[in-house]
Structure 1
């Protein structure tokens, strides 16, 4: 189950976002499997992020006290694997560039949003997040295997240095082991 954090200073926007994201699919009638947490206060959302892991956060760009870029910058350090989306009714090119470059947002959505675009973006973001986490897990596993392989290679080198020829096998044409009679 995906945990989604929604942050906007307007409660009615949060209600609308939550309703849109929880809506049943028009084609197959299935409901998404999301747990959605909403906050009108960005600082309270940051506190919640200390005890709850989120896969996706959608934040308003313009909020009093703490804007979306500042909020997502702080949030990114707390939960770097969480995908970040900014939602805004204003197009501030400098702020958007900052959000992309500093916060590494996944997408920028404008208000008012199109329900299909919002649901598609959220679905894509959650798939992207899952792939990133799996990629990181596989990279960690590969690093562990390489580390273990290096340890084995170091031990083989140590044995070969101590007893030359011990790590080599001479194979016969029929697959048998050839033993030197020296």
Structure 2
């Protein structure tokens, strides 16, 4: 199954250049091309992140309405395992410190970027993410063997990694469960 990358930038030319570079210049360890989704603002990107799991998010720093740091900070809460990179032509040390501290970005790439540098950074972030996920899986296996967690709990954690929120159930007063459409606007 192909994993997804989310790119967020308010400049259409940058979005298309990143999409093209990532789609054609990057393959996963199992040989699949990554699916690349584009968004022109952070709010739209967060809506997509409620419906899809992303291996990596790449965001511009300076965007109207919601900055890249604000977007990636909220994404970090929603999808903690998603790798995070900021690409920006705006080089401010305070902004970089905030991005590292608040959004826990893995890399900061300056515009204009060199394709090789950007692809290397993306591969590195995805590789570290893969190692972290494998480490968590192995740790759960050890806990399972030691009797610290059940097979069911380990499977629930695995499912939650694949589809965040899938293991959370909302119950009605009568004991039935409530199905919610993730794209539905709550009033």
What's 1:11 paired with? 12
Q: Which structure 1 segments of 5+ residues have no match? A: 26-30, 150-182
Q: Deviations over 1:78-117 (max 9, x none)?
A: 1000000001101110110111122111100000000011
Size of the alignment, in residue pairs? Answer: 144
Q: Kindly state the Cα deviation for residue 32 of structure 1 after the two structures are TM-superposed.
A: 6.3
Confirm whether residue 59 of structure 1 aligns to residue 55 of structure 2. no
Are the equivalent residues in 2 in contact too, given 1:10–1:40 (CA < 8 A)? yes
Are the equivalent residues in 2 in contact too, given 1:21–1:32 (CA < 8 A)? no
Q: Assess, with a 3 A threshold, how the Cα gap between structure 1 residues 14 and 32 changes in structure 2: closer, same or farther.
A: farther
Q: Kindly state the Cα deviation for residue 24 of structure 1 after the two structures are TM-superposed.
A: 4.8
Q: Kindly state the Cα deviation for residue 139 of structure 1 after the two structures are TM-superposed.
A: 1.4
Are the equivalent residues in 2 in contact too, given 1:88–1:111 (CA < 8 A)? yes
Q: Secondary structure at the match of 2:129?
A: helix
Q: Kindly state the Cα deviation for residue 41 of structure 1 after the two structures are TM-superposed.
A: 1.6
Are the equivalent residues in 2 in contact too, given 1:22–1:32 (CA < 8 A)? no
Distance 2:25 2:55 in 1: 20
Q: Assess, with a 3 A threshold, how the Cα gap between structure 1 residues 55 and 24 changes in structure 2: closer, same or farther.
A: closer
**Deviant stretches of 4+, over 3 Å:** none
Q: Secondary structure at the match of 1:90?
A: coil
Q: Assess, with a 3 A threshold, how the Cα gap between structure 1 residues 24 and 92 changes in structure 2: closer, same or farther.
A: closer
Q: Assess, with a 3 A threshold, how the Cα gap between structure 1 residues 148 and 42 changes in structure 2: closer, same or farther.
A: closer
Q: Which structure 2 segments of 5+ residues have no match? A: 150-187
Distance 1:148 1:61 in 2: 42
Q: Kindly state the Cα deviation for residue 18 of structure 1 after the two structures are TM-superposed.
A: 1.0
Q: Kindly state the Cα deviation for residue 22 of structure 1 after the two structures are TM-superposed.
A: 2.4
* RMSD (Å), alpha carbons: 1.7
Distance 1:93 1:80 in 2: 24
- TM-score (norm. length: structure 1): 0.74
What's 2:96 paired with? 96
> Whose radius of gyration is greater, 1 or 2?
1
Aligned residue runs from structure 1 range 100-115, under 5 A:
100-115=100-115
